[in-house]
Structure 1
Amino acid sequence: MAATSLPLLSFLLLVLSLRAADAQTPSAPAPGPAGPINITAILEKNGQYTTLIRLLNTTQIGTQLTNQLNSSTEGLTLLAPTDNAFNTLPSGSLNNLDNQQQVQLILYHVLPKFYTLSNLLLVSNPVRTQATGEDGVWGLNFTGQGNQVNVSSGLVQTPINNALRQDFPLAVYQVDKVLLPEELFGVKPPSSAPAAPAGKAPATKENSTTVAADGPSPPNNAASGGRAAFGLIAGLGLACVGLLA
């Protein structure tokens, strides 16, 4: 009986010791919530977006989008032009824009919803951008097939070549051209000439001729007087000739 109790007692002691060891071992901490998404950090990591990052910072749109992104249920989609895309713009294109217009240009590259590339092939064009405001819808058109998606502003069309991020709530896609909105870079309609002030129209040569033709010609007083004097002299001469005869 004693021989049987010893193995059982040893087994119980082993189990107790293992439980004590587990209790002393600290458990791994649970993963904390993910930090806020930083758009400029994503662009910096992928390189070749120096100009876009500078514009996001100087216009404070980067901070605005980050705040919106971390409180939105719809997410955002950013179409990110590369440095080469900005370098191919005509000289002075950015410098000729005031601060508000630069804000509109950047927001024109942001869609107020998370889109995968396959989603962009199914959208109803034009797709509203963040630049849309009281002056109307600033939209983009998406076309393509298969894995190829093209985006057009009406002035510029370019393919979407690379997905820098495609996880909700943010999608970031590379574009090799700056999307120029017609509202900022389209041909401005010519201004209408000011209307002539109401008043008497100046007389033209034709009008003057017509007036002269319609009215009677004024008498020439000098010519009439000369003819009367000549007739009187002639009459006196004939009278003298008759008396001499």
Structure 2
Amino acid sequence: MKPLATALGLFLLLLLLASSTTTNAHNITKILAKHPEFSTFNHYLTATHLAADINRRETITVLALDNSAMSSLLSKGLSLYTLKNVLALHVLVDYFGSRKLHQITNGTTLTSTVFQSTGNAPGTSGYINITDLKGGKVGFGTSDNDGKLDAVYVKSVQEIPYNISILQISQPLNSAEAEAPTAEPSKLNLTEILSKQGCKAFSDLLIATGADATFSETIDGGLTVFCPTDSVIKGFMPKYKNLTAAQKTSLMLYHGIPEYEPLQSLKSSNGIVNTLATDGANKYDFTVQNDGNDVTLKTKVNTATITGTLKDEEPLIVFKIDKVLMPRELFKADEVAAAPKSSKSKSKHKEADAFAPSPSDEDPADQAADNNGVAGLDGRRLVLAVLSMCIGVLLLM
């Protein structure tokens, strides 16, 4: 019995480790896309960039408004920046599942919202009052609304304890502070930011190709830039000079994603991503992968690693990378780099190409599969692999 008990204990321990090493990453946009009655709410979470804020938080509750309730809110004619404050009131920085709503200590509680956490909420105007009412109803109201509970709980849309809970409420929450006119933030100057942060060479190429205009026009909707540093660009120039004017522009656009993707988001959503250069006929995509604690960007020609963050001010984020991203539409995998080299050959080619690409002829589908394979082995798969080996050993004893 003792060996059996030991085996069972080991099994349970490994199973516990497997469950504890999984990540509870969520994507509010994808979740709500399954529920068309919240399409307007979902759209404005993206337009105001609140979706990205929700996705990078580990514990969150979203008070969702259906299309009818959103129509009522939009009829007020609020600017997008003011609307963001109002919607931020509907995002609680704590987890409230449907069961917890009816188990509130003393029947009522105040909880903080994303609006409060932005620093734009005067005093405690960014807090929400949640009260368990008679008859099984639960009311919601802002702390600066004279105690009035504007909305009631309707239903649970989706819950992932204790990561994210999406609850439908009947009406928008009213707050004079959140609805106060909000000035448009000052425009972010990308090339100026790059020039001051060790990416002047990349900034100069953006301007020279005219790609800077596309980057600037994209910022308001969300933009992620991958910037090779000055020394990297310097070593890449021999290859760059061989490109046509149109190809140079495409190469620059290849270093931008038309979404705000902070590092945590990239880590939790590995896979193929489109770039500013993507135009349908030409894919111009690459694959984001985790490599231990690093995040790598894998093209069909080479692989670059994110080495730092130069700027993170939503809706713009700029990462520093250690190589120029080389799309297969413009470059071919270096056959010399792919073949084994003699010491003499290595010496000959060492300075000729500081960015020798890693050849890859995989299909996009194969790349996606790689994200869940050995190269991107996560904690859960590792533990399950160990578990299988341990069980095999125990069966042989």
TM-score of the two chains, using structure 1 as the length reference: 0.58
Residue 18 of structure 1 corresponds to none
The 1:165–1:146 alpha-carbon spacing in structure 2 relative to 1, beyond 3 Å, is: farther
Q: Report 1:1-245 matches (<5 A).
A: 33-47=184-198, 49-70=199-220, 72=221, 75-89=222-236, 92-144=238-290, 147-186=293-332
The structural deviation recorded for 1:136 is 3.0
SS at match of 2:279: coil
8 Å contact from structure 1 (residues 154, 182) kept in 2: yes
Paired AA for residue 235 in structure 2: T
Superposition misfits of 4+ residues, deviation over 3 angstroms: 30-33
Q: Counterpart of 1:135 in 2: which secondary structure?
A: coil
One-letter code of the match for 2:302? Answer: V
Provide the secondary structure at the position in 1 that maps to 2:318: strand
**Count of aligned pairs between the two proteins:** 154
> Retained in 2: the 8 A contact 1:50–1:83?
yes
Deviation of 1:167 after TM superposition, in Å, equals 2.3
Give distance in 2, aligned partners of 1:129 and 1:34: 25
**Partner deviation per Cα, 1:9-39 (whole Å, 9 max, x = no partner):** xxxxxxxxxxxxxxxxxxxxx9954211110
Give the letter aligned to residue 212 of structure 2.
Answer: G
CA distance in 1, matches of 2:333, 2:297: 21
In 1, distance between residues paired with 2:333 and 2:302? 14
- Taking the aligned partners of 1:41 and 1:113, their CA distance within structure 2 comes to 20
In the aligned structure 1, how far is the partner of 2:302 from the partner of 2:212? 24
Equivalent-residue separation in structure 1 for 2:191 and 2:293 (angstroms): 27
- CA–CA distance in structure 1, aligned partners of residues 297 and 327 of structure 2: 12
Q: Is the alpha carbon distance of 1:187 and 1:148 closer, same or farther for their aligned partners in structure 2, counting shifts above 3 Å?
A: closer
Q: Distance in 1 between matches of 2:272 and 2:314?
A: 22
Contact 1:59 1:103 (8 Å CA) reproduced:
yes
Structure number with larger C-alpha Rg: 1
Q: Secondary structure at the match of 1:37?
A: coil
Deviations, residues 149-184 of structure 1 (Å, cap 9, x unaligned): 111112211220111112210110000110111110
Structure 1: tracts of 5 or more residues without a match:
1-29, 189-245
CA shift for structure 1 position 145: 5.6
Seen in structure 2, the aligned counterparts of structure 1 residues 123 and 59 have a Cα distance that, compared at 3 Å, is same
What secondary structure, in the 3-state scheme, does the structure 1 residue paired with 2:330 have?
Answer: helix
| Root mean square deviation, CA, Å | 2.2
Letter in 2 for 1:110: G
CA apart distance, 1:85: 1.2
Q: CA deviation at 1:123?
A: 2.3
- 1:34-56: CA deviation from partner (whole Å, max 9, x where unpaired): 21111011112212x22211111
